[in-house]
């Protein structure tokens, strides 16, 4: 190892200090020129290690200056010049900055370098930061608080100044630097602190005072900070004005490219937010896509960032603003566009339907005594208006497609002869039953009950609450009869249940009754018959089949449910009819006929005056009596007698045992709702008669809950 292994030499080009053994500069790879002069200079100052031969070889001779003086100044550290761009200290011989390659200017200042010191106790007055060519020596902090203060002092001059010279203000909430003219934070919207304005004025005055002082050789004179602030604020205002003009120009360009369907699309978006169903209907009627998404250009036209977002569809908006009626329309038209979209009377007049629900909820009463069951105070039976028969055939077809559940109608009429199988009842007595469409989200039983009575849906779950409270508070009456009936059914299948299992099954039934959307069982139909105070007849399939048509179970819902826990004088004898298919209930309603008709639903076989009557069969297509559910052992084999006691039962000329359903006069609200619903089809009929052409019916856009016949 050489005795000069620790010696270093300065590179002529980049001033990097290299070890003596290096032949080239480690940083810039420049070749080493000459050896050190002697050991005494080597041991002395590090800045005197440059070789004299190199100094004298290429150094230009100045007239009147000795060579020795020029040589010493060339490598004197105090004679370095500071770059105006990056403040890097370069050797006097360099004509360009070694760091950023900026050319040396004539006014480049000479740095006064001082030897570094590791003594932390050295106190030195900080040099003003007004000139970028001066270095500010850092004083080592003695405590964490001093370190934080020193760090804030170093960052403060940079944080408040923008590129244009205007002083920005920092948001107190998110520390974002905003333009001086902004009154709110551009990032988070926080209101600007008023104290900052006063501090900004004081800062501007102090800077103006400093700018009026005589400039030193390190800080050339320049415009005052106040003037820079004013210029920056003006520039910001001009920029905002130009942005506004550009935005208006952009909006005009977008509007010029808009078509009629695009304007209807924007109107539909605003209609969802404001709850205007007609604007959505107008958009969908002309073939608008419900799955269309809002674009960035359309956001400019809508102008409400709080309500709309890029990528939103009408469905997103309906969910966000809880527009259930509009959501039903959109889901139906989106999921199954090829199927007929449902238009129910309760959705054509949502305000009337809501008022009806309030009336029903207010009419619910609870019986005092040992049987605390809820009950309704009024008997109502829903039927289709006879004016439907006066519409042209194409309009009738459209109406039935939009009102009925055609899949249920087909399954109960064609696949299995469950309803309308008697020509005597359908033709002679005019008692054809129609399956109304309703929701399939687990509330179909409650919906079908209210549809068969009032023509509306149980959207506010008032009937479900009454059902749950009835079973919970009247459990002492319902539970023994339910247990005895289910025990007889279990014995017929040769199995039995333990008492704990009975309790668990009963708890499940109570839980299902109180959960919106939960599927209901036979017990719930039995309880609803007591709430309605009238019999409920269910016409259903005998077997439950899969979507492939395979039989997967036995359906026990078909039959008659009598309110036998009430006194007979407290109940009405006019029943309602429901249909059951594949785990789904539907309301089965008849159609009114003219009072002057000699036969049909208006026939008065029992001397009832002008009261209209529909006839519901109490026998199946094979001539067997429909089962009566939840009878005890003592009541078995008395089914026909009990049917005659709880309903007005007659036998037709063809030998069919039927129950009379009294079609009472509709409630005023129900009549108004049906007239509003039927007016649309009358207008379509009038348009067809005016044009003398039968055009295919237009696609409707209203739905009861966004589901189709397939579902």
Q: Which one, of 516, 517, 555, lies nearest residue 538 by Cα?
A: 555
Q: DSSP H helical segments within 286-392, as ranges? A: 296-302, 314-320, 324-335, 345-348, 350-363
- Residue 283, judged by CB atoms within 10 A of its CB (0-12, 13-18, 19+), counts as buried
Residues contacting 493, CB < 8 A, separation 6+: none
Please list, in sequence order, all residues whose beta carbon lies within 8 angstroms of the beta carbon of residue 348, skipping any fewer than 6 positions away: 673, 676, 677, 680, 702
The SS3 of residue 230 is: helix
DSSP 8-state code for residue 618: S
Q: Measure the CA–CA gap between 54 and 417, rounded to whole angstroms.
A: 117
| Distance between CA atoms of residues 87 and 135, nearest Å | 8
Catalytically annotated residue among 14, 269, 373, 444: 444
The Cα 677–Cα 342 span in angstroms is 12
669 - beta bridge partners?
A: none
**Do residues 414 and 549 touch, judged by C-beta distance below 8 A?**
no
Residues 477 and 529: their CA atoms lie apart, in Å, by 15
* DSSP assignments along 292-316, one per residue: ----HHHHHHH--TTT--TT--HHH
Paired residues of 435 in beta bridges? 588
How far is the C-alpha of 590 from the C-alpha of 595, rounded, in Å? 15
Which phi and psi (to 5°) does residue 42 adopt?
Answer: -65, -45
624-660: burial string, b at 16+ Cβ within 10 Å, e else:
eebebbbbeeebeeebeeebeebbbbeebeeebbbbb
Q: Number of helices (H) and strands (E), helices first, in the chain?
A: 23, 18
Q: Active-site residue 316, yes or no?
A: no
Our answer to whether residue 95 is catalytic in this structure is no
CA distance 50 to 33: 9
Distance CA(286)–CA(266), nearest Å, equals 14
3-state SS, residue 564: coil
- What is the β-pairing status of strands 374-375 and 365-366? antiparallel
Whether 3 and 22 have beta carbons less than 8 Å apart is answered as no
For every residue of 622-662, DSSP letters joined together read TSPBPPB-S--GGGTT-HHHHHHHHS-EEE-TT--EEEEEE
Q: Round to whole Å and give the CA distance between 407 and 699.
A: 19
Active site residues: 444, 584
């Amino acid at each position: 190892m050489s005795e000069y292994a620790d010696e270093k030499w300065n590179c002529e080009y980049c001033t990097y200090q290299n070890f003596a053994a290096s032949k080239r500069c480690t940083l810039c790879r420049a070749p080493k020129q000459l050896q050190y002069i002697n050991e005494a200079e080597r041991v002395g100052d590090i800045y005197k290690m440059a070789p004299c031969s190199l100094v004298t070889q290429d150094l230009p001779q100045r007239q009147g200056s000795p060579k020795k003086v020029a040589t010493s100044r060339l490598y004197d550290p105090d004679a370095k010049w500071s770059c105006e761009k990056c403040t890097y200290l370069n050797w006097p011989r360099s004509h360009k900055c070694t760091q950023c390659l900026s050319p040396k200017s004539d006014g480049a200042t000479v740095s006064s370098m001082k030897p570094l010191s590791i003594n932390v106790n050295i106190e030195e007055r900080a040099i003003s930061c007004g000139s970028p060519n001066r270095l500010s020596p850092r004083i080592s902090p003695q405590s964490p608080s001093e370190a934080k203060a020193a760090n804030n002092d170093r960052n403060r001059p940079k944080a408040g100044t923008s590129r244009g010279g205007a002083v920005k203000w920092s948001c107190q909430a998110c520390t974002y630097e905003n333009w001086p003219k902004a009154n709110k934070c551009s990032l988070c919207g926080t209101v600007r602190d008023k104290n900052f304005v006063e501090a900004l004025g004081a800062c501007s005055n102090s800077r103006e005072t400093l700018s009026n002082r005589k400039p030193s050789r390190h800080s050339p004179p320049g415009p005052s900070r106040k003037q820079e602030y004013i210029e920056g604020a003006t520039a910001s205002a001009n920029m905002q004005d130009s942005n506004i003009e550009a935005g208006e120009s952009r909006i005009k360009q977008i509007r010029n490219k808009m078509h009629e369907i695009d304007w209807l699309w924007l109107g539909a978006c605003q209609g969802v937010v404001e709850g205007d169903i007609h604007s959505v209907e107008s958009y969908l009627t002309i073939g608008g896509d419900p799955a269309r998404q809002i674009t960035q250009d359309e956001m400019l036209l809508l102008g409400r960032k709080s309500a709309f977002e890029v990528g939103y569809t009408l469905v997103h908006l309906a969910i966000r603003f809880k527009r259930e009626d509009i959501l039903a329309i959109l889901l139906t038209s989106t999921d199954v566009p090829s199927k007929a979209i449902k238009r129910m009377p309760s959705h054509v007049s949502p305000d009337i339907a809501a008022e009806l629900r309030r009336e029903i909820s207010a009419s619910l009463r609870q019986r005092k005594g040992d049987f605390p069951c809820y009950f309704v105070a009024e008997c109502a039976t829903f039927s289709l208006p006879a004016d439907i028969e006066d519409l042209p055939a194409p309009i009738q077809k459209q109406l039935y497609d939009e009102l009925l559940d055609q899949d249920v109608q087909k399954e109960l009429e064609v696949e299995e002869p469950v309803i309308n199988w008697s020509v005597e009842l359908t033709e002679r007595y005019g008692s054809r039953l129609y399956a109304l469409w309703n929701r399939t989200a687990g509330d179909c039983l409650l919906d079908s009950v209210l549809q068969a009575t009032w023509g509306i849906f149980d959207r506010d779950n008032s009937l479900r609450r009454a059902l749950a409270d009835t079973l919970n508070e009247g459990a002492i009456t319902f539970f023994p009869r339910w247990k005895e009936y289910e025990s007889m059914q279990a014995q017929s299948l040769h199995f039995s249940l333990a008492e704990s299992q009975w309790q668990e099954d009963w708890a499940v039934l109570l839980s299902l009754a109180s959960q919106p959307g939960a599927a209901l069982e036979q017990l719930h139909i039995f309880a609803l018959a007591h709430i309605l105070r009238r019999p409920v007849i269910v016409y259903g399939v005998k077997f439950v089949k899969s979507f492939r048509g395979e039989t997967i179970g036995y359906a026990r819902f078909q039959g008659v449910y009598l309110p036998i826990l009430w006194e007979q004088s407290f109940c009405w004898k006019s029943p309602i009819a429901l249909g059951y298919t594949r785990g789904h209930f539907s309301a089965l309603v008849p159609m009114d006929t003219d009072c002057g008709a000699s036969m049909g639903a208006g026939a008065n076989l029992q001397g009832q005056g002008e009261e209209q009557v529909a006839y519901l069969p109490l026998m199946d297509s094979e001539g067997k009596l429909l089962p009566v559910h939840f009878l005890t052992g003592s009541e078995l084999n008395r089914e026909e007698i009990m049917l005659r006691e709880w309903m007005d039962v007659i036998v037709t000329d063809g030998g069919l045992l039927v129950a009379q359903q009294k079609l009472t006069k509709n409630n005023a609200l129900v009549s108004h709702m049906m007239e509003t619903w039927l007016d649309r089809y009358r207008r379509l009929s009038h348009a067809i008669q005016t044009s003398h052409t039968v055009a295919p019916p237009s696609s409707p856009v209203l739905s009861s809950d966004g589901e189709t016949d397939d579902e």
